[in-house]
Each structure stands twice: as C-alpha cells, then as structure tokens.
Amino acid sequence: MGLLSVGTPLPWTEVAKHVEHVREHGVEQLIATYNKYKDRKGDCLKWGDEVEYMVVKLDQTRNEAKLTLRQDEILDALIEAKKRGELKKLNVSFHQEYGRYMLEATPDAPYTGEFSDLVKVEKNMEVRRETARKYMQDQEYPLTITVYPLMGVGKFAEPYEPPSGNTARSFFLPDNIINTHARFPTLTANIRSRRGSKVAINVPLYKDKDTPWPFHDPTIPWDRDVYPEDANAREYAAKDNHIYMDAMGFGMGCCCVQLTFQATDIQEATYLYDQLNPLAPIMLALSAAAPIYRGYLSDQDVRWNVISAAVDDRTPAERGLAEPDYKNPTTNDNSSPVIPKSRYHSTDSYLDNNEILLKNQEFYNDLPLVINKKVEKRIAEAGLPPMLVKHFSHLYIRDPLVIFEELLDQDDSVSTDHFENIQSTNWQTLRFKPPPNDDIGWRVEFRSMDAQITDFENAAFSVFIVLVTRVILSYQLTNYLPMSLIDANMEFAHKRDAVRTEKFWIRTNVMTQTPESDPGIKQLTLNEIINGSPEFIGFVPLVRQYLATMNADMGILCELDDYLTLVSKRASGELQSAASWIREFVDKHPDYKHDSVISEKINYDLLDTIEKITQGEWSLAPNMLPKKK
C-alpha cells in the first residue's frame, strides 16, 4: 500500500504549505534516478504478485460473520515467526494494508521467467493463506474476497465502534477499521480536507422485482449533524437509486490482485506498459468479483470506480464545479484548472518511443492531458524522453497527501521519498516504476484485477498475464488503441455481467509492424477477444501458440493449460465470474426477499460457503470452477 514512512504526519493545513517543496524535490529525485539507471540493461525477467485478504471471523454457533480488526497482532506474530526462522523455506512475505482487517501477501523472493516458476505460483498462494491462518485465532479466516458484503452495516467488525470518528467522519465506517500506521488515517483525513467535503461514492443499485423504486436509502442517517460534512448527503452527495458510501475505507478497503514485472531495460518497460494498457479493462471485466456494497446488490460487478471515488481529493474547482483559485500554486502551474479524473483511475497516455505510436500520436494519445507546466519544463531540460516528460508532468498535477515533518529535507541524490510520495498516490490501472536501488530494474505494475475466491483462480489469472507479457515481447505485438477507447472499455467493464453482455474495443491487427498499417480496431465480445474469432486470433490461442514453440516439460504445460482453460471458459461464459456466482447465491438464498438487501444470514452463509470453497470444496460452485484437479 505505497510508501510507509515513519515520523510525524502533518495535517492538510500544514501539508498545503509544503506541496511545492515536495513536488520540486520529487522531480529532482526522479531526474537523479533516471540519470543513474537510464542506461541500465540486461536485467532478467523477474515478477511477483500481491494478493490481498480480508480476515473474517465466522461464528458457527451464532451463524454470524464479522471482519476482525487484528491486523497488527497477526502481522506481529508473523514477524516474530520470521525472526525465529519458521517462514524461511516458505518464500512468503506479509505486509500492511489500509484496513485493520486486511493483509497483503507476496512471494518473499520474486519469480523468474522459467516455466517451472509458473507452476509454483498456486502452491505459494496456498502456503501464504495457510501460513496466515496459522497465526489467526479460531474461527478467523483469510478470505480473498474483493468487497466485504456488509461493509458499513451495523456491527460489521469487531471490536465494534460507532461510526462517529473525526478522521473519516463517515456515516457508516468507524475510524477503528483504519490501519494504525500514521500514513493511513492521515491520508483519509487529508483527502477529505483537500477535497473540501467527504468523498461521495454512488454505485447504481440493482433493481430486483421487490426493490422499492425510486429508491431513497432509509439506512442513511440523513439528519445527523455532528460534523459540517454531514450535510453533504442531504444536499447533493447521495443519489436516489444508488448505494451511497462516504469514506476512503469503502474503496481502499477492497481487495485485489496485482502483478509487477521487471523488464530488461527502460525501453522494454515502456513498451510493455503500453501493450498491457488495453488489457487492463479486459482483465477487470474478466475478474469481476464485486457485486455487493454496503449490504445492497449493485448493478455493477467490479470494484474499480468505487476506489476511484473513495480517494478523489479533487477540489470543487478541479472537478469543474467552482471558479479556479489561481493563487494556489498547483492550479497556477497546471495546464488546466479542471482535472478530468480522480487520482485513482485508468492511465492517460502511452510511454514508448515506438514508431507506430510516434507517427500516430494524436490518434492514440487522444485524451486531453493536464500537465504541470513547471515540472514539464524541468524534466524536459534534464533530458527525459518526451513521452516520459508528459507522463511524469501529468502525475505531478497532484499534490502530495501525506508529509512527515522529519522527512521534509532529503538528499535528492539518494532518497526517492518525495518522488514516491506523488508517484505512489497516483493509483492507475498500470504503474511505470523506476528502479528504487541497484538491485531492482525498471518495472511495470498491472493493477486492474479483482481478487478471486480461490488460490487456483488467482494463480490462473496471474500466470495468464505473465504468459501474455511473454507473447507480447516474443512476437512484438502491437496492441495500441486510442486511449479514449480504453476509457470506454473501463466503463463497459463495470457493467453487470459485462463478460457476457458487453463488447470491448480491441485492436485486431496486433502483428502490425508499420505506422501506416490498418490497426483493425473493432468491438468484440470478451469471448472473441480471449478465445478468438474470424476477426481476431485471441489471447489464449496466442499464448497456446507461443507455448507450443517452447521446449517445456509436458507436466508443466498441462498445468499451465488448466489455467488457460479457466480463463477461456470464464470469457466464453461456460464458467461464471465470481460476481455472477455471488449474485446467483444471493438470489437462491431462502432469506433473500428480492429487494436488493443482503441480510446478516445471507452474508454469513455466503462467506461460510466461500471459506469451504477456499478449502477445496469446489463442488459448492460448479458453475464457477472446473471439476477439482
């Protein structure tokens, strides 16, 4: 979860005084890093995944499920176990996340490009889950669910506190769900303070046959008057026929799976970043696992726009709702006072010096790109490539959100804290990552996927993306689409059952080698994009074609084919997405009244079933998972 520095965090009123200092020195740190590593070459492929978990207590005697806020105790126990050498041979590592009910786990050492490493991923994920479980209490389970169904409903977490804390000022979420590390409550409060109101998340409500319509949410405490922001909901923030949420925890409290790839050099990293970009919304739709928010069935299946709204720190002027304040240095230095997107959103430009891109810039990089003019001038003078100048000067339209007093003054030739302060709080579908030190190269992070219920699924999606990167690099694929069409695909990916009902823009002529070639941009179903059609070869057939040319062990190839088959059948609709399976579970539950409301009993039974599936009872979800291996 980004940069975890130690020190005294400043409130927004103080942060605002130092934003230019952090921005200016962040730019100098970027330049120093670029100059140090721009000629670095020959790094081998290394990659790793990050899986996030929610710690859920399932009380079988009461048929009751709750989030348990024991992240600190569990992580402390894992750290002590590591010191004693108990984790040494397991290749697992555990980290903090935003919610006190969350854990993040990664392989302790990255994987290589060897095929033998690809079939270690699922087992490593299993070991991570088993290891975390070992240091939990009875009835506590690490579940890879994207959203907790009753987040913000009643006494959904223990220990319970009423939702009246000063940090989030939420109607629904108490402050005690937030990680106790100073960065997290400060980030929460400073987003709210900079924005000038609470964040406003509105997810369309699923209209079932007995859902009251129009829907005016009776669970919102409309008349609460504890904080000035309490007026937000009744004045404008809460929309009818929507699920309203008002705190960062509703977004950053979601779980996902992310992958990071080390490239051989900066050129390969920018190329890989560009070619993975069009796949981000495709994989978001394919991994859909989030149909329920704050106790209601929603009319969308993925988490992305919820997190986007949950950390949207833009002021009214930056959202185009008020006159700009040109006395503000950020507003004055930005090329436009209006910023079209939250700092958690899809990417806005390609990065590579690819001839196809460079000769068709206006066609592919077709989004209006707001940039910080001062930053653009400085890094252009420093000699960064024009595409990276645009990229970083665009990231630097944002203010730093958390500043530690003790870390204001740094040696820009050594430290990258000020650079990472802004870099790591631009949460886009992909992240381009300069080397942090001599041991690590130029990297690309793929960030769009929802978390899946089982380790098999999470491994399958992870390995699929790894194999796609190998295909991209081996065949020198050209996946370029106009950036505006990637944004359109992100919208399509949010639709309920998008896998089966939506069509997505895709470039069908991926073997293009010249700028003049017809890209063959068409709208196809996910089945056609993943499995192929007369118009497009499909990514699974491309991967299988690539594997057929590799001299790999037959047992390994068979295991990899299990993963490809899952991806293929999810895309074709033969197997349900997690989101569709959850909807079906709710719809068939005897306690469901077809009013879009998730009861505590439904919540418990759903999570109890998910835990059983996690432990291998795949027969409980025969339409979501293949027959047990």
377 neighbors 389 (Cβ within 8 angstroms): no
Q: Which two tokens stand for residue 610?
A: 């998910």
Count of alpha carbons within 13 Å of 143, Cβ hemisphere only?
Answer: 29
Q: What is the pLDDT of residue 7?
A: 77
**pLDDT band at 219; cut points 50, 70, 90:** very high
Which class for 565: exposed (0-12), middle (13-18), buried (19 or more C-beta within 10 A)? Answer: middle
**Which one, of 376, 409, 407, 404, lies nearest residue 390 by Cα?**
376
pLDDT digits (tens, 9 = 90+) for 53-74: 999 999 999 999 999 999 999 9
Count of alpha carbons within 13 Å of 359, Cβ hemisphere only?
Answer: 8
Look at residue 23 and tell me whether its pLDDT is greater than 60.
Answer: yes
**pLDDT band at 629; cut points 50, 70, 90:** low
Cβ atoms < 10 Å from Cβ of 405: 11
Q: Rounded distance, CA 246 to CA 620, Å?
A: 35
> What DSSP assignment string belongs to 347-381?
--------HHHHTTHHHHS-S----BHHHHHHHHH
Q: Which two tokens stand for residue 541?
A: 């057939």
Cβ atoms < 10 Å from Cβ of 619: 11
**pLDDT band at 203; cut points 50, 70, 90:** very high
CATH class of the domain comprising 1-629: alpha beta
Question: Mean per-residue pLDDT for 17-35?
Answer: 97
**∠ at Cα 564 (560, 569), nearest 5°?**
150
**pLDDT band at 551; cut points 50, 70, 90:** confident
Question: Mean per-residue pLDDT for 105-111?
Answer: 97
Q: What is the CA 445 to chain-centroid distance, rounded?
A: 10
Question: Mean per-residue pLDDT for 117-144?
Answer: 97
Cβ atoms < 10 Å from Cβ of 3: 18
| Per-residue CA distances from 406 to 8, 184, 403 (Å) | 7, 17, 9
Q: Rounded distance, CA 457 to CA 614, Å?
A: 10
Residue appearing with tokens 């002529």: 509
Q: What is the pLDDT of residue 38?
A: 97
Count of alpha carbons within 13 Å of 307, Cβ hemisphere only?
Answer: 26
**Which one, of 4, 5, 140, 135, lies nearest residue 80 by Cα?**
135
The backbone torsions φ and ψ at residue 625, rounded to the nearest 5 degrees and listed phi first, read -120, 150
Q: Which two tokens stand for residue 462?
A: 């992870």
Q: Which residue has the higher pLDDT, 300 or 412?
A: 300
Domain segments of the chain: what residues?
Answer: 1-629
| Per-residue CA distances from 304 to 151, 188, 275, 297 (Å) | 16, 18, 21, 16
Least-confidence region, from 108-117, 323-332, 473-482: 323-332
R_g over Cα of the chain: 24
DSSP 8-class letter at 86:
T
Q: Which amino acid is at 152?
A: G
**∠ at Cα 193 (190, 194), nearest 5°?**
85
426 neighbors 397 (Cβ within 8 angstroms): no
Q: What is the CA 292 to chain-centroid distance, rounded?
A: 17
Look at residue 4 and tell me whether its pLDDT is greater than 60.
Answer: no
**Which one, of 453, 521, 449, lies nearest residue 129 by Cα?**
453
Cβ atoms < 10 Å from Cβ of 331: 18
Per the prediction, the chain carries an average pLDDT of 96
Q: What is the pLDDT of residue 381?
A: 98
Q: Which two tokens stand for residue 623?
A: 């339409």
Question: Mean per-residue pLDDT for 593-605?
Answer: 98
* Calculated CA dihedral for residues 381, 382, 386, 389, nearest 10 degrees: -100
**pLDDT band at 5; cut points 50, 70, 90:** low
Question: Mean per-residue pLDDT for 119-124?
Answer: 98
Per the document, the length of the chain is 629
Q: What is the pLDDT of residue 181?
A: 92
519 neighbors 512 (Cβ within 8 angstroms): yes
**pLDDT band at 516; cut points 50, 70, 90:** confident
Instruction: For the chain, give the percent of residues with pLDDT over 70.
Output: 99
Q: Which amino acid is at 403?
A: I
Q: Rounded distance, CA 370 to CA 178, Å?
A: 32
Look at residue 2 and tell me whether its pLDDT is greater than 60.
Answer: no
Q: Rounded distance, CA 505 to CA 333, Å?
A: 35
Look at residue 576 and tell me whether its pLDDT is greater than 80.
Answer: yes
Question: Mean per-residue pLDDT for 598-627?
Answer: 97
> What DSSP assignment string belongs to 90-155?
TT-EEE--SBTTEEEEE-SS-EES-HHHHTTHHHHHHHHHHHHHHTS-TTEEEE--SS-TTTTSSS
Residue appearing with tokens 């929610």: 54
Q: Rounded distance, CA 512 to CA 168, Å?
A: 50
Q: Which long-range contacts (CB under 8 A, 24 or more apart) does 332-340 make?
A: 333/372, 333/373, 333/374, 333/375, 334/370, 334/371, 334/372, 334/373, 334/397, 335/370, 335/371, 335/372, 335/373, 336/368, 336/370, 338/370, 339/314, 339/370, 339/397, 340/367, 340/368, 340/370
**Which one, of 203, 152, 286, lies nearest residue 579 by Cα?**
286
pTM above 0.85, yes or no: yes
What per-residue string of b and e applies to 26-55 under the rule 16 or more CB within 10 Å gives b?
bbbbbbbbbeebbeeeebebbbbbbbbbbb
Q: What is the pLDDT of residue 326?
A: 86
Beta bridge partners of 244: 202
Q: What is the pLDDT of residue 239?
A: 97
pLDDT digits (tens, 9 = 90+) for 351-392: 999 999 999 999 999 999 999 999 999 999 999 999 999 999
Look at residue 1 and tell me whether its pLDDT is greater than 90.
Answer: no
Q: Rounded distance, CA 265 to CA 22, Å?
A: 28
Q: Rounded distance, CA 65 to CA 42, Å?
A: 50
* Calculated CA dihedral for residues 523, 526, 530, 534, nearest 10 degrees: -50
Question: Mean per-residue pLDDT for 595-612?
Answer: 98
| Per-residue CA distances from 444 to 16, 241, 261, 429, 434 (Å) | 31, 39, 5, 11, 9
Q: Rounded distance, CA 480 to CA 493, Å?
A: 18
Q: What is the CA 313 to chain-centroid distance, rounded?
A: 17
pLDDT digits (tens, 9 = 90+) for 154-186: 999 999 999 999 999 999 999 999 999 999 999
**pLDDT band at 393; cut points 50, 70, 90:** very high
Q: What is the CA 196 to chain-centroid distance, rounded?
A: 25
The backbone torsions φ and ψ at residue 511, rounded to the nearest 5 degrees and listed phi first, read -90, 10
Look at residue 327 and tell me whether its pLDDT is greater than 90.
Answer: no
